[in-house]
Homo-oligomer: A and B are copies of this chain.
Amino acid sequence: MDKKKVLVLGGGFGGVFAAKELARRGRDAVDAELINNNNYFVFQPLLPEVAAATIHSSDAVVPLRLLLRRTQIRQADVMGIDFAKKTVTVVQGFRRLPVDLPYDELVIALGMSVDLNRFPGLPEHALTMKNLADAHRLRTHIISCLEMADVTRQPEDKRELLTFVVVGAGFSGVETVAEVNELIHRALKYYPNIKQEEIRVLLVEYASRILPTFPVDLAEYATKRMQIHGIEVLTGVGTKAATGTAVELTDGTLIPTRTIVATIGNGPDPLVAALGLDMQWGRIKTDRFMRVPDHDGVWALGDAALIPLVEQPADDPSHFAPQTAQFAVREGRQLASNLLAKVTGRTELKPFAYTSRGSLASLGMSKAVAEVYGVKLSGTLAWLLWRGFYLSFLPGFATKLRVLVNWVLNVFVPPNIVLIQSTPPGTRYIHYRKGDKVLEPGMLIDGFYTVVKGSLKLTIDNQETGEHFDRVFGPGDHFGERVLVKSALRTGLVVALEDSVVLWISQKDFTRLARAFPFLDSYFKDYIERTFGGVEKSFAPGNVEKKPELETTP
C-alpha cells in the first residue's frame, strides 16, 4: 500500500500529540510532516515563569525535532490551503519562495490568536503572553521599568513605571500576575532608589470573580494568596482603552502605567479565518470524529476546532470540548487513531469523548491551586503536580534531569535581572488621550511622527528672545522631520488636543528612507525650509546648548 501523506499544521499540544501518535502507530500507513512557524513546542503553562525569570526559557520549550524524532518537521509560514487541489502553500527561507505541498490528509491544529481590536490602544500598547518571544518581551520590559524607575527624577514617570496591570484573570492572567509580582519583589533589593510601597501590581477581571473554571473556594483561596503578596485584585471591571502611559477601565478609572499585559481577547488565527470553513465562536466546526464537514481528508483539533462532545450539540459551550491542553492532548491521540482507521480501514472511527481530570493554576512562590478527580488541592503539592507532568513530557533522561536541577537551584539564586535589549521596531502606532504630552521641551526627538487620528498642538517658547511659535497638526500632518537635518534635536511642547493616534517611525529608518528616496528627501528639505526657515536661528533647539551631539544611530 502507498503511504498517505499527512500534513499537520501547528505545533501546539494538539498537533504534537497527533503527530506523535501517527509516528508511533501509523508509520507503515502514513508519512507525516508537521509544519509550524517556530521550530519548538512551548509548554504554555510555564510561560509566566519564563517572563518572571524563575526558569530559563530553554527549560519551558522543547525543539520539535527532539520531541518528534520520527516526524518530518518544517519550520515555515502557512500562506494558504487549496482544498480542491489538496495542497498547502508555505513560505520558508530567506528567499520567500512559496512552495506547494500536496497532502492526502490534513490536520489543522493552528490554535487561536490574540485579537484585542475591540479595545482602542490595547493592540498597540499591551503585551501578550502567547509565545516565548512574548515572555521574553515581558521580562525585558519589567526589568527596564525597574532600571528607569531607579534613576528617574520625574515622580510622575516613576509612578507609571512602577505600576503593572494584568488584564484577564483566567489561568494565564492569574499565573502571570503572580509571577510578575514575585519577580519585582525579589529584584527590589538591587534597586536602592525604589521603595516597596511604590510598587503597584493589579489584576483586572471583567467577570465577577477570578478563575471562572475553578470551584469558588479555590478561586477565593487564590485571591487571598495574591492579596497577601500585595496584588490588587479588581473584579467586575473591564478594560476600555489604553495609551502608552495609562489604561482606562470600564468604570472610568484611569490607571497611569507603562505596563499592560493582556491575557484576554482570543480570536481565530488569521489563516483559519480566511479558509472559508464553517466557523462558530472563532473555531472550526467539526463532527464528533474531528473531521471538517464537506472537506475530504481535512481534520481539525485543539483550540482552533469546535468539537462536539454530544450527538446534538446546542448553542452551549459545555456541549463542546473546552480549549485546554488536557483536552488537546486527548484530541491529538484520538484524531491520529481516527485518521489511521480511515486510511487503513482496519478499525472503526470513534467519536471524541473525554472528561476533564481536573484543573490547576500556579500562583507563584511555588504555590498553586488544583482540582484533580474532584479533590481540591492548594499550595506546594498542587504546584509539584504541574511540574511533574511537564517533566514526564520532556524527551530524554538528561534533559529531564537538567530541567529538574535548574528548578531546584533557581530557588536559591538571585533573580536574573539581566536586561537583553531587543531591536526596537521601525514603526509604532502610539495612542494618546486628550491632554497627554507627546513631547516636552528639552526631550530629544527620536523619530518622525505622523498624525493618523485626532489633533495635536506644538508650542515653542524661546525664553531668551520671548518669541513664540505654535501650530496644530491634524491627520496626515507630521512633526520631527528635522531629525533628518540634525541628529537628536531638542523639542518644544506637543500636547494632544483630543484622543489621538500617531505613527512613529524611528530616526534611523526614516533617515535611511528619506535619503535613499530623492523624492522624499527634496519634499522634506522644502518643507523644513518653508516651515522652520524663518525661525530656525532662534528656535532650533540644537543651537541653544552647545553639547556635543552624537549620531545616535549605529
The answer to whether residues A450 and B513 also contact, given A98-B444, A148-B94, A402-B413 and a CB cut-off of 8 A, is yes
A492-550 interface (Cβ within 8 A of B): 503, 505-506, 508-509, 512-513, 516-520, 523, 547-550
| A550 and B416 contact, CB distance less than 8 A | no
The answer to whether residues A417 and B65 also contact, given A148-B94, A450-B513, A506-B426 and a CB cut-off of 8 A, is yes
A405 an interface residue at 8 Å Cβ cutoff?
A: yes
Contact of A401 among B409, B548, B552 (CB under 8 A): B409
Bound Cα distance A516, B401 (Å): 53
| A152 and B92 contact, CB distance less than 8 A | yes
- Quote the shortest CB–CB distance from A103 to chain B (angstroms): 15
| B513 and A419 contact, CB distance less than 8 A | no
Bound Cα distance A476, B522 (Å): 12
CB-based nearest B residue for A452: B516
Bound Cα distance A340, B92 (Å): 60
| A440 and B516 contact, CB distance less than 8 A | no
The answer to whether residues A192 and B72 also contact, given A413-B402, A476-B518, A488-B79 and a CB cut-off of 8 A, is yes
| B99 and A66 contact, CB distance less than 8 A | no
Q: Is the interface of A mostly helix, strand, loop or mixed?
A: mixed
Bound Cα distance A485, B283 (Å): 30
CB-based nearest B residue for A419: B39
Stretch among A55-63, A177-185, A228-236 lining the B interface: A55-63
- Quote the shortest CB–CB distance from A437 to chain B (angstroms): 9
| A418 and B513 contact, CB distance less than 8 A | no
Provide the A441-470 mask, 1 if CB < 8 A to any CB of B, else 0: 011111000111000000000000000000
Bound Cα distance A299, B160 (Å): 37
| A512 and B420 contact, CB distance less than 8 A | no
A406 an interface residue at 8 Å Cβ cutoff?
A: yes
Stretch among A195-203, A267-275, A331-339, A379-387 lining the B interface: A267-275
Contact of A93 among B38, B152, B270, B412 (CB under 8 A): B152
CB-based nearest B residue for A42: B418
The answer to whether residues A91 and B513 also contact, given A414-B66, A418-B58 and a CB cut-off of 8 A, is no
Q: Can you list 18 A-B pairs, Cβ within 8 angstroms, ordered by A? A: A38-B421, A39-B418, A39-B419, A65-B417, A66-B190, A75-B148, A79-B547, A89-B547, A94-B258, A96-B446, A133-B421, A136-B420, A399-B413, A401-B409, A402-B413, A426-B509, A505-B512, A513-B513
A139-190 interface (Cβ within 8 A of B): 143-144, 147-148, 150-154, 157, 190
Provide the A483-495 mask, 1 if CB < 8 A to any CB of B, else 0: 0000010100000
Q: Which of A65, A143, A270, A444 has the most CB of B within 10 A?
A: A65
| A271 and B399 contact, CB distance less than 8 A | no
Bound Cα distance A418, B80 (Å): 25
